[in-house]
A and B are shown apart, each in its own frame.
Chain A
Amino acid sequence: MLEVRYRTARTLPLGRPVAPALPRGGILIQPAEAEARFSLRLRGPLSPGGFPLDRPINTVTGDDRRWVARLGPDEWLIGMPEGEADLLAEAAAADLRGRAHSLVDISHRNVGIDVTGALAADVLNAGCPLDLGDAAFPPGSATRTLLGKAEIVLIRHAGAVPSYRVECWRSFATYVHGFLQEAAIAAQPVERVPAR
């Protein structure tokens, strides 16, 4: 099932990210590095082993490099640096031995785009119909949803500035990235004639 070996360099649909940049105009939209991702499916009692599987649905645990997002009652999306994929697969196999489960490598199916900055929620709300306010979608939230006409997984990481990860399927990446860039332009504040 698992074929997580990367001897050939990966060609990412949005290219490699440039050197770490800071948000300009309150927003930074940056394609993520080549990462490893797994879809884990598991039913039954969620005894915490090596993996934080017993957290509420629509939350994420971990940091922006290694994370486990619970997308449904029996579904988790796991992300990590590329080089750790084999380790994770082995650890998961050991942890879930004897349990009916499915761990599928979807590293190449998913594309990550990081959306950071004060305007991040406004930009995402150009196409995402969810309430992204701090009460409804605080840091540590994660869910599958929509961005315009594409399905995405939206993850909000903790951080000094609002910081979101958008995950979409590979062939939707151009659309999603273009949509976010367009939204970033449209979200810039316009001169407001002061009320008198």
Chain B
Amino acid sequence: MAQPFRTSRGGRIDRARPIRFSFNGRTVEGYHGDTVASALLANGIHLVGRSFKYHRPRGILSHGPDEPSALLSVDRGPGRVDPNNRASVVEARDGLKTLSQNHWPSLEVDVGEVNDLLSPVFVAGFYYKTFMWPRKFWDKVYEPVIRAAAGLGKAPVAADPDRYANRHAHCDVLVVGAGPAGLAAALAAARTGKRVILADEGPEPGGSLLHDLTSQVDGRPAAVWLAETLTDLDARENVILLPRTTAFGYYNHNHVALAERVTDHLPAGGGQAPRERLWQVRAGEVVLAGGAHERPLVFSDNDRPGVMLAESVRVFANRYGVLPGRRIVFATTGASAYRAALDAKAAGAEVTLVDLRLEADCGAEPAELRAAGIEVLTGHTVLGAKGRKRVTGLVVAPIGPEGRIGASRLLSCDCVGMSGGWTPAVHLFSQSRGKLVYEPGLDAFVPGTSAQAERSAGAAKGTYDLAACLAEGDAAGAEAAGSQERRALAATPTATGFQPARVMPTNADPTKVRAFVDFQNDVTAKDIKLAVREGFHSIEHVKRYTTTGMATDQGKTSNMNALGIVAGQLDKTLPGVGTTTFRPPYTPVTFGTLVGPARHALFDPIRTTPIHGWAEAHGALFENVALWRRAWYFPKPGEDLHAAVARECKAVREGVGIFDASTLGKIEIVGPDAAEFMNRMYINPWAKLEPGRCRYGLMLKEDGYILDDGVVARVSPECFHVTTTTGGAARVLAHMEDYLQTEWHDLDVFLTSTTEQWAVIALQGPKARAVIEPLVDGIDLSPQAFPHMAMRSGTICGVPTRLFRVSFTGELGFEINVPSDQALAVWEAIMEAGRPHGITPYGTETMHVLRAEKGYIIVGQETDGTVTPDDVGLAGMIAKAKKDFVGKRSLARPDVVAKGRKQLIGLVTDDPKVVLDEGAQIVADPGQPIPMRMLGHVTSSYWSANCNRSIALALVADGRDLMGRTLHVTTPDGFTTATVAEPVFLDPKGERINA
């Protein structure tokens, strides 16, 4: 018979729309509107998982997000396997595949259950105590075995194919939770016309009103008021209503993160729509109306499938039309379970209610139940549950006012609804850094002083009466929106109040009792008591030692019971013990939601130059430099990196090479004080640099270390064209702006980034001039008219250019600056003109080798943020006459002028074929005892085709004093020898550059 536990009518499910999904391969039928939990229960399935540590059979405890036990893997296809989903919140739909977790070989027969028999040894801190020795066994033996045996679901292995979205939103009032308080708040705020966002984690807004069949609101049945209110809110332009949306993180300055589940509930998967959307809401005011969580009772074997929360029984019966059992015993310490018992009875169950409270401590509710024909046992404790894979009975006994326990009685049943009172969901309030206060009348921590612009309302604040929730919500919403208006809503009174019981009184041997506090982590009352006895008195320590309150549910059902037990053991009050810290997320959030669209091409911007497409088409391989993708080398068929770079290097020195240098940072520095500004920023002198001339500039941080370098051209008396390194462009501009704005208000100078305005085509080699000569107009290219380190404006191929005669290779060279959108046309024209000269495109690898042959440094390779100009042999560039520049004073610091600093030198390996490793350490004597004294390290090392040998640059302590000395350099196989030399390997007189 399908769905034997489905009631004949009622509930908010759509009986006209049946659905089918699978659970462990078995087809389960349900209706549209079911959760996986409600559909399983409709089919009499209570056993849905095995517990974390003891592999005990576990069922469905709750109907909501606090569910600790019923964790399923949901399989929506390849890459869409999602572990640890709470069956109580996953919406059932056609085609869904669900699987239980943490068992082998099957849910019914689980070998791991042996752990349960061994439970006396698996006490709190078991792992810490047992697997201490030998230490080396931990990584190889203990940890893998423990990880295999314990745990929750399996992480998916395939890439997630779904789309995830991100959305920044602003509103005046954000309301979290659409129960009675939240709805009243949203309504009150919406009436003012302010922008309101109302987010609710459920598929249907309404909270407790969705399963309240008896209350009246404003003279109408609660469900009618709910429907009218939602229609009202939905029709308002200023309201965004977000179902299936969990507010999971409350951050600084009312920045609240929401996770919206957009398409998981749709059978078709939603097409192109995102699976989930992260809402980053910045709210003027926040109303927290997230409700409360019911507490389980702690008694022996309270974790048997079929034992659930009392209110959850009510929800399954009223909202989903499912009776979780035919014979239900309610066990409670408070009033709210009486309503659940009445509703279960009305739905057709046989019901008994057991209340720990003495008759005299109860209100009118026992009489009301008895009038309905329900047996009520007040002043009774629960000694334990019977049954293993499904509860079969509850053992109860009377308890006298003095605590004496009388004769026990077995109440047979197939379902238990338990209620140990309520805990307000103060998670978001606490995340907002609000201060919690303990309210003894509620036995709960409730929101106290706010730290941000927020207020709580309803059960989240410990208010459980329906009319009071509505009034509180109305007031909170109005206040948040700055309105004086209040609208009172009459409602049926709610029976509230409970007597806190940490552990149900029992006469059993306490060492034999398995009474669970934290169902998800298999933590019993005994474990917590043991931890306290062993000296863990801080609640944070107890949490970590016993694991109570950890994992996916973060102890929503268990925290107050655990806290109460610790307080009892320490003979302290609850506020004396305090709570553990609430941290985001409130409920688990997928990685996809946090990542959003930032994957693949959108993970990070990939910056490419105007020449990129050409380079791709001509077979270039690319390397990442900052966010840029630069052409690395251009292999011809059959060439590897080594062969291609050797060919490119020779081509430049013997003919002409073309290189895309567009990624160089560029800054246009303009203003009457431009030269003075340059003087202060760089170590070089700038006042006398004539327009049309270039200078290699070096820039320090205030601590005296090299920040960046680059060629600078003076375009006009009041305009400099500055270049920076590729990676340093943004850093240098920010550094300059900082000084200009905060230190030197007196200077009239303006900085504009032109990095991307100008593409740069470097043409290098003895034939460079011959290639561009026919293309250039308005510039005399002769060596006399246009010497090395000059800059001219003119046109090339009809395109305006700033033509630099500069060289980073030591050859005759030009860097042709042209507007980016025209660079490709110019590049192609140069390639055409260069063909008769054997023009060769080269990449960054060849650029590196060529500059190393000349000993030119690269900032970030020869420097590492602790290198001064003198360290790299560039002290001669410092303008002696300048009184000050950024970093000058630091060049006189004691440690900067001390002997022993590492200095840039060349290294010539004794075996010319050996190419040293960059980063390799250098020592004077490999025979010295370890730890050896390191003299320095290799900064650059290449095979040089032009020198027909390896070359290397290194930073070595007092290296310039060691010319000709043999040093020892580490290799993967030991040491090799190299001789210290000047850091120039080719054309030491620098004649080629002036050709």
List A residues at the B interface (Cβ < 8 Å): 1, 3-13, 34, 39, 41, 43, 74, 100-102, 104-109, 122, 125-131, 133, 136, 148-150, 169-172, 174-176, 178-179, 182-183, 185-188, 190-193, 195-196
Contacts and interface: CB of A to CB of B under 8 A. Distances in A.
B610 A106 contact: no
Contact of A10 (B169, B234, B273, B821): B821
Given A104-B668, A106-B757, A190-B263, A129 B602 contact: no
Given A1-B670, A126-B597, A133-B195, A12 B821 contact: yes
A105 B821 CA distance: 13
B273 A109 contact: no
A183 B272 CA distance: 11
A185 B608 contact: no
A24 to B, nearest CB: 14
A149 B604 contact: yes
Contact of A149 (B168, B230, B605, B802): B605
Contact of A3 (B165, B170, B262, B793): B793
Nearest to A189: B273
B494 interface: no
Report whether over half of chain A's contact residues are helix, strand or loop; otherwise say mixed: loop
Contacts of B277: 186
Given A1-B668, A3-B800, A148 B598 contact: yes
A155 B928 CA distance: 67
B601 A109 contact: no
B607 A196 contact: no
Given A11-B824, A109-B754, A171-B609, A195 B265 contact: no
B829 to A, nearest CB: 9
B680 to A, nearest CB: 17
B716 interface: yes
Nearest to A188: B273
B166 interface: yes
B169 A125 contact: yes
Interface residues of B, number: 71
6 contacts: A7-B799, A9-B822, A11-B610, A41-B750, A126-B166, A172-B607
A125 B602 contact: no
Nearest to B605: A175
B885 to A, nearest CB: 22
B240 to A, nearest CB: 11
A179 B607 CA distance: 14
B719 interface: yes
B171 to A, nearest CB: 9
Contact of B262 (A10, A178, A190): A190
B597 A179 contact: yes
Contacts of B166: 126-127
B797 A8 contact: yes
Contacts of A101: 670, 750
A104 B12 contact: no
A121 B605 CA distance: 22
Contact of B755 (A34, A109, A185, A192): A109
B195 A170 contact: no
A136 to B, nearest CB: 7
A178 B752 CA distance: 27
B597 A39 contact: no
B605 A11 contact: no
Contacts of A129: 168, 280, 282
B760 to A, nearest CB: 12
B628 interface: yes
Nearest to B819: A108
Given A148-B602, A149-B604, A191-B266, A108 B821 contact: yes
A1 B602 contact: no
Given A171-B605, A171-B608, A195-B205, A190 B270 contact: yes
Interface string B135-149: 000000000000000
B612 to A, nearest CB: 9
A49 B234 CA distance: 51
B153 interface: no
A122 to B, nearest CB: 7
Contacts of B388: none
A22 B533 CA distance: 73
Interface in B704-721: 715-716, 719
A195 B205 CA distance: 8
B272 A8 contact: no
A146 to B, nearest CB: 10
A1 B265 contact: no
Nearest to A191: B266
Nearest to B758: A108
Contacts of B759: 108
B167 interface: yes
A62 B819 CA distance: 26
B243 interface: yes
A109 B195 contact: no
Interface in B591-615: 597-598, 601-602, 604-610
B604 A130 contact: no
B337 to A, nearest CB: 27
Given A102-B670, A125-B169, A183-B165, A175 B602 contact: yes
B757 A13 contact: no
A101 B608 CA distance: 31
A154 B218 CA distance: 48
B825 A108 contact: no
A122 B819 contact: no
B820 interface: yes
A131 B602 contact: no
B247 to A, nearest CB: 18
B752 A39 contact: yes
B434 interface: no
Contact of B719 (A1, A178, A193): A1
Interface in B747-803: 748, 750, 752-759, 793, 795, 797-800, 802
A185 B605 contact: no
B212 to A, nearest CB: 14
B203 interface: yes
Contact of A183 (B597, B628, B822): B597
A107 B825 contact: no
Nearest to B669: A102
A12 B610 CA distance: 9
B602 A182 contact: yes
B236 interface: no
Given A9-B825, A136-B170, A104 B820 contact: no
Contacts of B234: 195
Contacts of B797: 8
A195 B821 contact: no
Contact of B168 (A7, A12, A130, A188): A130
Given A11-B610, A186-B273, A190-B273, 8 more contacts: A4-B800, A5-B800, A10-B822, A41-B752, A136-B170, A149-B605, A174-B608, A179-B597
A175 B598 contact: no
B204 interface: yes
B671 interface: yes
A109 B719 CA distance: 19
Contacts of A176: 605
Contacts of A182: 163, 597, 602
B715 A1 contact: yes
A170 B820 contact: yes
A109 B165 contact: no
B180 to A, nearest CB: 15
A125 B168 contact: yes
A126 B602 CA distance: 13
B346 interface: no
B510 interface: no
Interface in B671-692: 671-672
Contacts of A106: 752, 754, 757
B274 interface: yes
Nearest to A131: B170
Contacts of A196: 12, 204, 227
Most buried by B among A169, A182, A188, A195: A195
Nearest to B667: A104
